[in-house]
Amino acid sequence: MPKLIVHGGAGTIAEARRPAYHRGLRAALAAGWAVLETGGDAVEATLRAVETMEADAEAFNAGVGGSPNRDGEVELDAAVVRGADGSAGAVAAVRSAPSAVRLADLVRRSTPHVLLVGPGADALVEHPVDREHLLTPHSRAAWERWRARQGEADAAPPPTGSATVGAVAQDAAGDLAAATSTGGVLGKWSGRVGDAPIVGAGTYADRSVAVSCTGRGEAFLRAVTAKALAERLAAGVGLEDALARALADVRDHGGEGGLIVATADGRLAYGFDTAHLALGWTDGTTTVAEVLGAATVAVVPGP
């Protein structure tokens, strides 16, 4: 039976913004499920779910509404991996893609490469958009608040985790895929690349497992989180244990966050250690979309 799990980022999600998250998660699940229930493959399901959240101007930090860097520019990162053959596409620091994850899939399907960055990736965008298109009133205001605080002695570090989006699916043929898309971290340096577009760190899939991560990217990069989780599962570690150890590794590397997982034997699972995780999943019978508030690891109950 096909399955889909999505996240809309790990971090602190203000009460007032939760209805927008719920709507966005449900729209993403509906878009991805429409692919799976008509026999479409896991890659297309994850792309549809993620691009739906990228286009959401109200909730998420990906595509429209991506967090601006310190110069006020939106630079997007994304990746998609197909478990069946390990094919992968990724883009980083792109400025003109309305859907970075679709661009990542173009790299996967149509180039001899896995990861294209900056102008080289932007050059492949079929219908480029400008900075103004990607900024929203919310992302602009967040950046202005961030900028106003720079130079203050007690200026807070940039917030951890901020509504990155991801999807992991298993299709009717049993194949797995993972996709992640993000604006990165508010106030990041120009050219900074997080974990989302790095295969094995923030996004990964093979024949056994698919993973999408969210949180402080530098820690996920150092911990090579997604691939390390896959290796632990392959070595026989239980799913909940592997999730807990993934989060512990991230903490050991100075970060926090969350991740979603699908396994070839049909399980969906998640874990996070931030204040909140925006999470949704569906197996066609049950659909859940919520902002979770108690750090945990869990395997989604089967039908």
Catalytically annotated residues: 164
Under DSSP, the state recorded for 196 is T
In the complex, least distance from residue 198 CB atom to ligand ASP, rounded to whole angstroms: 10
Which is nearest to 136 in space by CA: 81, 48, 62? 62
Q: Which residues bind ligand ASP (CB under 6 A)?
A: 9, 161-162, 164, 182, 184-185, 194-196, 202, 214-215, 217
Q: How far is the CB of 233 from ligand ASP (least distance, A)?
A: 21
Rounded Cα gap, residues 220 and 131, in angstroms: 28
State in angstroms the smallest separation of the CB of 115 from ligand ASP.
14
Q: Give the nearest distance from C-beta 187 to ligand ASP in angstroms.
A: 12
Measure Cα distances from 132 to 72, 74, 97, 145, 291 in Å: 10, 9, 12, 18, 29
- Minimum CB distance to ligand ASP smaller for 214 or for 263: 214
* Residue nearer to ligand ASP on the CB measure, 180 or 283: 180
Q: Is 110 exposed, middle or buried (0-12, 13-18, 19+ CB in 10 A)?
A: exposed
Comparing CB distances to ligand ASP, the nearer of 170 and 214 is 214
Burial-class residue 9 by CB neighbours within 10 Å (0-12, 13-18, 19+).
Answer: buried
Shortest Å distance, C-beta 165 to ligand ASP: 9
| Angle 95-97-98 from CA coordinates, rounded to 5° | 125
For the CA atoms of 242, 287, 9, 17, what is the dihedral angle to 10 degrees? -150
* Nearer to ligand ASP among residue 35 and residue 292 (C-beta): 292
User: Do 299 and 263 meet the contact criterion of CB atoms below 8 Å apart?
Assistant: no
DSSP annotation of 69: -
Structure tokens at 1: 């039976």
Check the CA dihedral 207-197-31-295 and report its sign: positive
